[in-house]
Amino acid sequence: MNQALTVNDLTVRYGNGCSYCRDISNPLDKNRCPHCKSVWAVRNISFELYPSEILGIVGESGSGKTTLLRSLYFDIPATSGAAYLSGYSDGLVDIMGVSSQQKRIIRNSLLGMVYQNPTQGLLMDYSSSGNVAQKLIAAGSRNVGSMQDRANELLEHMQIPLGRVKEPPKQFSGGMQQRVQISKAIANNPPVLLLDEVTTGLDLSVQAKVLDLIRSVQKKLNIAIIIVSHDLAVIRMLSDRTIVMLDGGIVEHGLTDQIMEDPQHWFTQTLVHSLI
Amino acid sequence: MDESYNFAFLDEGSKREIRRAIIKAISLPGYQVPFGSRELPIGRGWGTGGLQVTLSIIGPEDTLKVIDQGSDDSVNAISIKKFISLTTGVGITEDSEEATLIQSRHRIPEIPLTDSQVLVLQVPTPEPLRGVERSLGAARQLHADKEYSSAWLMLYEQIMRYGRITLGADYPVLVDGRYVMAPSPIPRYDTLKLHNAECLYLFGAGREKMIYAVPPYTSVEPLDFEDYEFDIEDMGDRTCRLCGATGVYFDEMFDPQTGERHYQCSDTGFCSKNAQRGHTHEPGINSK
């Protein structure tokens, strides 16, 4: 298997669904079933992520981008579908179907996640070093000295002053908190990194700094990244390929330049034109 | 014994239900088993969990010892002793070797216990992850997944802040290689006594409605790091002012009039027996 991650027909549904909305060919009212009112936050999404690639997922608010990412990180249980991670059992086992204990192992060793809201990804009362160490401890490290060294190395790379690594993230600015989150996410050199709206809420100069750091991390570690954003500028700057989501489904996907220069779907055209 | 009460106060159905929880707890060392905590004529937080466990397993032939932070004579210990004695008529002792059933708060007796003895510990907070996970439901899922990184993180954080692990009591332990357990607020000094002990340890939390156990000869390992290993309090060259014992767990007494500090054995039963024997030192499990 060449892909770092393969996702097949992933679905996240709130509600029981009915015979109408379970038939993929039937249209929904936005992402809501007109009959049973079930919400299809993510509906039969399939894609592949290749090693060392940055895949952008773009779409309007409520299109299911974050839900997709969080279901891949097992924060939200997927209703159906499969995902295969090359680092887990050579990509032969559906990671959505493994036990919760195995899912934790995958989360701790093979995936990294940076949330839009740092309070979801960080322990705000623990030191920044402790936050990074948590990921290392979860992966089995039991040596304080080596964990401190690793945390310092990562935080320094993320431009957190070494003199502040013992401070809790609650004392940091939003941009610094995001950088601590990135340090934590890559602590175990995961093959796949998931980034959810990492620059939202940050001012332009801090956004640029965070994006530069993401790019440098990707080059240094050679990891595959999925970045979710509603900001096309971020996607254009970072991603090699782009998926456009609308109402829980994929409406267009392709090379980022192709999507930006020659959008085919009316929604993508609206997005691109509104950017320009 | 007051005949107007059922033997050991609780009705037989309640005792049977608690015994079932105890059997399950013994079968799954370190696992917290929920139980229907009963009302007792003492308030929650005053040892009702330990008391219910004691009342459920005590028999007429048992000899009971009750200690509170090592002391046989504290108000709480005496009240519990009186209550159990009134409703069961069992013999009461202060001698740890003589007792078949010992109920304790915050201490394990100095003398190593044997396979014919049961130690019941009163537990205020049975959930070892409580300090790092606010949701008890989430904590139970963490136990199910054997995901204890947050417990280690708590220790790591102390090393980051203070340069060492500062937990003085209730030190988290891994039982039988499976469950992380709060050993009740016993001092670190007592923690190693849980490992491969001959006796049965039962833990009862009345307010939190949980029972758990460490069966005899079960591995109990304190959580630690390769470069920051678990260690117990250093008693140095302190000696008990009453019996002269060394290498035991001491209470520190401060005399405000003279400004002097004295030390005496925390385990009063051990201390008085030691003084009677005229010994100056009785080696316990932690005494070298």
Cβ density class B53-73: b for 16+ within 10 Å, e for less: bbbbbbeeebebbbbbbbbbe
Question: How many angstroms separate the Cα of A273 from the Cα of each of A56, A267, A276?
Answer: 18, 10, 5
Confidence at residue A139, expressed as pLDDT on a 0 to 100 scale: 94
Q: What residue in A sits closest to B160 (Cα-Cα)? A: A166
Residues B33-67: tens digit of each pLDDT: 999 999 999 999 899 999 999 999 999 999 999 99
Confidence at residue A220, expressed as pLDDT on a 0 to 100 scale: 87
Query: Rounded to an integer, what distance in angstroms lies between the CA atom of residue B232 and that of residue B27?
Result: 29
Mean pLDDT, chain B, integer: 93
Asked if B146's CB is within 8 angstroms of A101's CB, the reply is: yes
Confidence of residue B280 (pLDDT cuts 50, 70, 90): low
Residues B67-101: tens digit of each pLDDT: 999 999 999 999 999 999 999 999 999 999 999 99
Residues B250-278: tens digit of each pLDDT: 999 998 999 999 999 999 999 999 998 87
ipTM score of the complex? 0.88
Confidence at residue B126, expressed as pLDDT on a 0 to 100 scale: 97
DSSP label at residue B23: H
Q: What share of chain A is helix, strand, coil (3-state, %, to 5)?
A: 40, 25, 35
Inform me whether the C-beta atom of residue B158 falls under 8 Å from chain A C-beta atoms. no
What is the mean pLDDT of the segment spanning A161-175? 94
Q: For residue A125, with 0-12 CB atoms within 10 Å meaning exposed, 13-18 middle and 19 or more buried, which class applies?
A: exposed
Dihedrals phi, psi of A47, to nearest 5 degrees: -165, 170
Residues of B in contact with A101 (CB under 8 A): 144-147
Question: How many angstroms separate the Cα of A143 from the Cα of each of B152, B159, B166?
Answer: 11, 12, 18
Confidence at residue B287, expressed as pLDDT on a 0 to 100 scale: 45
Residues of A in contact with B156 (CB under 8 A): 130, 133, 137, 144, 147
Three-state SS at A70: helix
Q: Residue B284: pLDDT above 80?
A: no
Inform me whether the C-beta atom of residue B227 falls under 8 Å from chain A C-beta atoms. yes
Q: For residue A35, with 0-12 CB atoms within 10 Å meaning exposed, 13-18 middle and 19 or more buried, which class applies?
A: middle
Asked if B161's CB is within 8 angstroms of A166's CB, the reply is: yes
Q: Residue B236: pLDDT above 50?
A: yes
Q: What share of chain B is helix, strand, coil (3-state, %, to 5)?
A: 30, 20, 55
Cα Rg, chain B, nearest whole Å = 19
HSE-up of residue B135 (Cα within 13 Å, Cβ side): 5
Asked if A65 and A230 count as a contact pair (C-beta separation under 8 A), the reply is yes
Confidence at residue B288, expressed as pLDDT on a 0 to 100 scale: 39
Inform me whether the C-beta atom of residue B153 falls under 8 Å from chain A C-beta atoms. yes
In this structure, what is the dihedral angle of CA atoms B37, B42, B48, B54, given to the nearest 10 degrees?
Answer: -110
Could you list the active site residues of B?
Answer: 30, 240, 243, 265, 271
Residues B172-194: tens digit of each pLDDT: 999 999 999 999 999 999 999 99
Q: Residue A275: pLDDT above 90?
A: no
Q: What residue in A sits closest to B153 (Cα-Cα)? A: A134
Q: What residue in B sits closest to A102 (Cα-Cα)? A: B145
Mean pLDDT, chain A, integer: 93
Q: What residue in B sits closest to A130 (Cα-Cα)? A: B157
Residues of B in contact with A145 (CB under 8 A): 227
Asked if B93 and B64 count as a contact pair (C-beta separation under 8 A), the reply is yes
Query: Rounded to an integer, what distance in angstroms lies between the CA atom of residue A144 and that of residue A253?
Result: 45
Asked if B149's CB is within 8 angstroms of A108's CB, the reply is: yes
Cβ density class A88-114: b for 16+ within 10 Å, e for less: beebeebbbebeeebbbbbbbbbbbbb
Q: Which of A133, A145, A166 sits opposite B227 (nearest CB)?
A: A145
Asked if B161's CB is within 8 angstroms of A134's CB, the reply is: no
Asked if B153's CB is within 8 angstroms of A133's CB, the reply is: yes
Question: How many angstroms separate the Cα of B209 from the Cα of each of A216, B39, B139?
Answer: 52, 11, 15
Asked if B146's CB is within 8 angstroms of A134's CB, the reply is: no
Asked if B96 and B112 count as a contact pair (C-beta separation under 8 A), the reply is no
Between B244 and B3, whose confidence is greater?
A: B244
What is the mean pLDDT of the segment spanning A19-25? 91
pTM: 0.89
Residues B131-165: tens digit of each pLDDT: 888 899 999 999 999 999 999 999 999 999 999 99
Asked if B150's CB is within 8 angstroms of A143's CB, the reply is: no
Q: Residue B114: pLDDT above 70?
A: yes
Query: Rounded to an integer, what distance in angstroms lies between the CA atom of residue A131 and that of residue B157?
Result: 9
Residues of B in contact with A138 (CB under 8 A): 147, 149
Confidence of residue A213 (pLDDT cuts 50, 70, 90): confident
The CB density around residue B5, as the number of other CB atoms within 10 Å, is 13
Q: Residue A100: pLDDT above 80?
A: yes
* Helices B12-27, B48-57: crossing angle, 10 deg rounding: 100
Asked if B161 and B154 count as a contact pair (C-beta separation under 8 A), the reply is no
Q: Residue B281: pLDDT above 60?
A: no
